Chains A and B, each alone.
Chain A
Amino acid sequence: MKKSFLQKKWFKEQVSHHEKPLLRYCLALTGNKEQAQEIVQETFIKLWSEDFLKVQTHVAPWLYRVCRNSSIDYHRRRKKMDPFDESKNTEVEHIQMPEEEIEKNEIFGVINDFPPEQQEIFILKFQEGHTNIEISEITGMSVSNIGIIIFRGLKIIRDTLKIERVV
């Protein structure tokens, strides 16, 4: 479908608005800058080929979901090529928190010890600012499950920081 002037303008706005957050999220999922760039680029190409009317009401969760699925595919392909890769067999196998930040901030140190799914939810919630409903749309988990995971994570962070301060 040929895009109208308004549609092109809307697309440009989406790219400039979501480019950096998507790259940051993808980098956390893949741990590889070039791969993250490629995934985000393909995500925008897929958005371009979509009917904008269908996606414009939920474009952010749509973009994050496509990026997430591509990142999971990337890990699957990498695992096939490296049979000695012993990473856990979960959907999101790996989240990479920025190392300098882990050293600087004790909160990131605690989040870094969370399971990958919980880390991803914390990133989507507190870094990207998504609502629980949007996170549910992106990850495929139920909204109530996401609420529980966040609540338990907050408790763990609070307890760990308390212990560290006492020590």
Chain B
Amino acid sequence: MSQTYDEEKLSKYILGELSLSEQAEMDEALNSNHELKAEIEELLSVACNIQESFASISPSEELCLNSDLASELSNATYDKPSRLGERYNQIYEGFRKYNPYLPEFLFILCSLVLCVIDIRDIVTSGKSVTEFASLSYISCALLFFYIFLLIKRARKEASLFDSLLESDVITASKSRVTPLTLLKITFFLVFAVLLLML
């Protein structure tokens, strides 16, 4: 048994998180090792003291949310949305005016164009297949991986906004321009330019 395994198991024993069979096994092991048993008993009393100390701090009455959040959200309707969604509303409205993914996509587009030009030069010059390991191919692969991460991020943001819209927490839905729509448009532009280049 490694030292690491011992500590983990002993910790679980002290905190009462072992299964019944494991606990019985541990009891047996401790009965044959009095030194360890004494140590565990000490640590057990320390754990109890810590628990009692934390329990003695009662949460302050002042420590509460500023509004009856549950009712605010439950009673929200599309015509009378919850004011709690105001901040999200502003971000969402902002998406219609300014595409937050555009700078990143412009950067990717420029890099991809440079890579494609480079790869085209390699192919047209009739060089051997070993050139496939060239830096341009690696950069191209990395850029596609970056696009993949960007899509993942946008999808996550889009799903949050969509669910807030559907539950009437926010109202900025009239245009239905979601982060994902913006991403799709930008993506389309990137590939259109790439196709033209090729």
Contacts and interface: CB of A to CB of B under 8 A. Distances in A.
Interface string A33-60: 1000100110011101111000000000
B7 interface: yes
Nearest to A154: B43
Interface string A104-138: 01011001000000000011011100011000000
Interface residues of A, number: 50
Contacts of A76: none
Interface in B171-192: none
Contacts of B5: 144
A150 B160 contact: no
A72 interface: no
B63 A148 contact: no
Interface in B136-169: 160, 163-164, 166-167, 169
B53 A12 contact: no
Contacts of B74: 3, 8, 11-12
B167 A12 contact: no
B10 A158 contact: no
B122 interface: no
B65 A11 contact: no
A48 B72 CA distance: 11
Contacts of A27: 63
A49 B167 contact: yes
From A44, A147, A152, residue with most partner B Cβ within 10 Å: A147
Contacts of A125: 15
A41 B64 contact: no
Given A126-B50, A154-B46, 8 more contacts: A41-B69, A45-B69, A48-B73, A49-B160, A50-B163, A107-B49, A122-B50, A123-B54
26 contacts: A1-B163, A2-B166, A8-B70, A11-B73, A16-B70, A20-B63, A23-B63, A24-B59, A41-B67, A41-B69, A48-B167, A49-B164, A50-B163, A51-B163, A101-B53, A108-B53, A127-B54, A132-B12, A148-B8, A150-B15, A151-B7, A151-B10, A154-B43, A154-B46, A155-B43, A158-B42
